Amino acid sequence: MQKMLVEGGELLNGKVRISGAKNSAVALLPAAILADSDVTIEGLPEISDVYTLGDLLEEIGGSVAWDGQTVHINPENMVSMPLPNGKVKQLRASYYFMGAMLGKFNKAVIGLPGGCYLGPRPIDQHIKGFEALGAEVTNEQGAIYLRAKELRGARIYLDVVSVGATINIMLAAVKAKGKTIIENAAKEPEIIDVATLLTNMGAKIKGVGTDVIRIEGVAQLHGCRHTIIPDRIEAGTYAITAAAQGKEVIVDNVIPQHLESVLAKLREMGVTVEESDEQLLIMPKNPLKSVDVKTLVYPGFPTDLQQPFTSLLTKAVNTGVITDTIYSARLKHIDELRRMNAIIKVEGGSAIISGPVQLQGAKVKATDLRAGASLIIAGLMANGITEITGLEHIDRGYEKITEKLTNLGANVWREEMTEQEILQFQNS
């Protein structure tokens, strides 16, 4: 088991290349189940969530061959193998096996998913969609059983705008008989990416990127080749890092439009942000001004960048308020930031951050993926050395983060933990 050490103070400079989108990748791999021949996906991020999903595809009989960031998935020998336990619990996105296996085999057994604990992460809207398509859905000892004689298109209104439910219903509906209409659908770029893959496989989908998606079911889907979109959350994390502790940082391989809400907030703080086709240039001008942020569904400010942004606000003059309207309990990073000298109050679902403060290095724990990113950013701004444990969360979503930060001039490295440190970590 490793810990990360971050020595603060160095100004970051240079170029960082963004990897493929985690939150797209984790749906694209399960989507391949629906094809009847080879699906090749290019540009995948080399992160543990992606490999876990590859293992799950193999568990159900798929052949999965990796070639760096490219995966070739042959689904011909896949079967509707029950997956009530095991690796499905290691990540949230295993729930996409429900939609994909239901769509392909008319049945599936999938253990309730894991992933970052951000407070309750219900899947009632996914289930409502599967039932509307004709599936019987039961929860038996923590595994979801889905069975259908056949799936039939339906009109489904989502009571909450949900990325997961929109994608999962799309996966189940592309091979259903007749027309499915998803109303109040989510519009995140990752949903468009999944729909692009499905369309390349022969699915008939209209309206992705709007709040009404129309799907005409088809009998068969074939293999195809697909290139994933860049990770807007990784790009946003580096843009925020550059605003916090950068000189001139180029964030390369991005779609700037995917980050408009975040870039607007950085500009409001006084950061110079220049956009070109596939790059962002971030140049902070101190002192930074505080801003208020509310996370919303896309194109609003993403919940996944709330925690990194909290760290940035510790450096800004005056008080900034961050309210996460998507996951109001996504606040575990705050106790850790307080250990580093941050002055943050929590009221309801809002974090009230007073700044500027000089953060101090400390021993902290990444409780979830984006909490990990927020602690790295804090460590880069802090005096002294910050020791971060819980790297398994960070490795679920950030490809080669130590190397990428080192290339920008940061003093960041990993060390093996001693037995005593591992014990302390396990008991904390």
Ligand X SMILES: CC(=O)N[C@H]1[C@@H](OP(=O)(O)OP(=O)(O)OC[C@H]2O[C@@H](n3ccc(=O)[nH]c3=O)[C@H](O)[C@@H]2O)O[C@H](CO)[C@@H](O)[C@@H]1O
Which one of ligand PEP, ligand X, none interacts with residue 197, CB within 5 to 8 A by kind?
none
Residue 23 binds to ligand X (criterion: CB under 6 A) = yes
> Which x/- pattern, by CB under 6 A, does the window 315-334 give for ligand X?
-----------xx-------
Tell me which residue has tokens 């979830």: 368
- Measured between alpha carbons, how far is 131 from 261 in angstroms, rounded to an integer? 35
- Measured between alpha carbons, how far is 328 from 311 in angstroms, rounded to an integer? 17
Of 188-207, binders to ligand X (CB under 6 A) are 188
Pair of tokens at residue 73: 């998935």
> 159, exposed or middle or buried, with CB in 10 Å at 0-12, 13-18, 19+?
exposed
Tell me which residue has tokens 């069975």: 147
- Measured between alpha carbons, how far is 126 from 310 in angstroms, rounded to an integer? 31
The answer on whether 245 is annotated among ligand-binding residues is: no
Beta bridge partner(s), residue 4: 388, 414
Beta bridge partner(s), residue 216: 179, 204
**Residue 103 exposure: Cα atoms within 13 Å on the Cβ side:** 32
3 state SS for 264-300: HHHHHCCCEEEECCCEEEEECCCCCECCCEEECCCCC
Residue 27 binds to ligand X (criterion: CB under 6 A) = no
Residue 160 binds to ligand X (criterion: CB under 6 A) = yes
Residue 423 binds to ligand X (criterion: CB under 6 A) = no
Which one of ligand PEP, ligand X, none interacts with residue 162, CB within 5 to 8 A by kind?
ligand X
∠ CA 83-128-120, rounded to 5°:
70
Of 101-120, binders to ligand PEP (CB under 6 A) are 115-116, 118
Catalytic residues: 116
The answer on whether 92 is annotated among ligand-binding residues is: yes
In contact, 230 and 18? CB cutoff 8 Å: yes
**Count of CB atoms situated within 10 Å of the CB of 140:** 9
Beta bridge partner(s), residue 315: none
Residue 377 binds to ligand PEP (criterion: CB under 6 A) = no
Nearer to ligand PEP, 180 or 307 (CB): 307
**Residue 249 exposure: Cα atoms within 13 Å on the Cβ side:** 31
> Which x/- pattern, by CB under 6 A, does the window 100-129 give for ligand X?
---------------------xxxxxx---
Taking CB atoms, the residue at the shortest distance from ligand PEP is 115
Residue 89 binds to ligand X (criterion: CB under 6 A) = no
Residue 92 binds to ligand PEP (criterion: CB under 6 A) = yes
The answer on whether 22 is annotated among ligand-binding residues is: yes
Nearer to ligand X, 232 or 315 (CB): 232
Residue 234 binds to ligand X (criterion: CB under 6 A) = no
Residue 162 binds to ligand X (criterion: CB under 6 A) = yes
- Measured between alpha carbons, how far is 221 from 230 in angstroms, rounded to an integer? 25
Of 357-376, binders to ligand PEP (CB under 6 A) are 369-370
Report the SS3 class of residue 401.
helix
Nearer to ligand PEP, 158 or 221 (CB): 158
Beta bridge partner(s), residue 143: 111, 140
Which one of ligand PEP, ligand X, none interacts with residue 297, CB within 5 to 8 A by kind?
ligand X
Nearer to ligand PEP, 94 or 196 (CB): 94
Residue 17 binds to ligand PEP (criterion: CB under 6 A) = no
Residue 397 binds to ligand PEP (criterion: CB under 6 A) = yes
The sign of the CA dihedral 171, 22, 200, 59 is negative
Residues that bind ligand PEP (CB under 6 A): 22-23, 91-93, 115-116, 118, 304, 369-370, 397
**Can you give the binding site for ligand X, defined by CB under 6 A?**
23, 121-126, 160-165, 186, 188, 297, 302-304, 326-327
Which amino acids are annotated as binding site for phosphoenolpyruvate, given as ranges? 22-23
